[in-house]
Structure 1
Amino acid sequence: MSDIMIRRRHGKSLTEARASAEHMAAELNEEFDLSYSWSGDVMRFKRPGVAGDLAVDEHEVALNIRLGFLLFALKPTIEREIHRFFDENFPV
């Protein structure tokens, strides 16, 4: 297993940050068939070979992803895509 952990500060309200996270999750669902659900301000997601959570608060978003063995080789590509999604949805 390989982990990806990314934290980013944002300048949004909690409601705006959660809406951005929801938008990001909808895009990931459409592009990668990633299922997700919310538990409070934590979104949990999964698909075969990938599981994780995205926590949103008033100041930052924190993403934790666990990649299965078969996706380990794609970790750099996946990290680039995550940063791109963060840049679009949580600009600094």
Structure 2
Amino acid sequence: MPSIDIRRPHQLSSAEAHAVIDKVAARMREKFDVQTQWQNEALTFQRPGINGKIAINSDEIHVSAQLGMLLSPLKSMIEQEIRRKLDEHFG
């Protein structure tokens, strides 16, 4: 299964980073019908064809995901969109 692994440095407080990820998660739920759940310092997400997590560390955001076969051809487009959103929110 193809995977995505992106790390982005940030300088936000934990509370600020959580707020940003909550905002992103709400948009994911609305736009892509993704189920999300916080587990400690990581937001897990899943829907048919993809599952992963967004982990908040003190100095970086780490997005990891596994893509199913149907989404495999879209891997580069999905990675590009994740990077764009990380730049937008954690620039």
RMSD: 0.8
| Correspondence for 1:90 | 90
Cα shift at 1:69: 0.7
Quote the Cα distance in structure 1 between the aligned partners of 2:88 and 2:33.
Answer: 20
Matched, 1:62 2:69: no
5+ long unaligned stretches in structure 1 = none
Cα shift at 1:85: 1.2
Q: Deviations over 1:49-71 (max 9, x none)?
A: 00001110221110101000111
How many percent identity over aligned positions? 41
Give, as a single letter, the amino acid of the residue that structure 1 aligns with 2:43: M
5+ long unaligned stretches in structure 2 = none
Q: Write out the 4+ residue segments of structure 1 that deviate beyond 6 Å after TM superposition.
A: none
How many residue pairs get aligned? The number is: 91
Normalising by structure 2, we get a TM-score of 0.95
